[in-house]
Amino acid sequence: MQWFKAWLAGFLATLVFHQAVFGVFWLLGAVSAPPFALDPVGPLGIPKVISLAFWGGVWGLPAWALIRRAQGGGYWLRALLFGAIGPTAVAMLVVFPLKGLPVTVTTVIGGVLVNSAWGLGVGLLMRLFGTKFASR
């Protein structure tokens, strides 16, 4: 059950934390795409934000594996660093090139910020879900 909670935490953290920070960037004019984009993405035509949240859920699994035994500030630091590094690196080194999107200092910094918020959101949601630190 804790792994389902980890997936759900990643899914919800994408919708709440990741998209909130992305929305701030959009309001400031730093990005041209709005948050909560409903454009269909292939091959199933799922709304973009739901696809993103699904993959956020998948990322929630290794995030939980990394942070679950940490205590105190280490818990939050691991959550933040995992979010900042893992999803950002994959996005910049794999996803962006596959989609023909430019990787710039601005996109890397933006990715680190939105994904750090996501990581902290996963940590917070796992705590709110009452998930224990045991390795069940």
Q: What is the pLDDT of residues 24-55, one digit of tens each?
A: 999 999 999 999 999 999 889 999 999 999 99
Whether residue 91 is contained in a domain is answered as yes
Query: How crowded is the C-beta side of 44, counted as CA atoms within 13 Å?
Result: 5
C-beta separation of 67 from 78 below 8 A: yes
Whether residue 120 is contained in a domain is answered as yes
Q: How many domains does the chain have?
A: 1
Whether residue 135 is contained in a domain is answered as no
CA dist., res. 14 & res. 117, Å (int): 9
Distance, first Cα to last Cα, the chain: 9
How many C-beta neighbours within 10 Å does residue 46 have?
A: 15
Whether residue 81 is contained in a domain is answered as yes
Work out the pLDDT band at 1, boundaries 50, 70, 90: confident
Domain carrying residue 42: 2-128
Whether residue 90 is contained in a domain is answered as yes
- Each residue's pLDDT tens digit, 66-121: 999 999 999 999 999 999 999 999 999 999 999 999 999 999 999 999 999 999 99
CA dist., res. 36 & res. 119, Å (int): 18
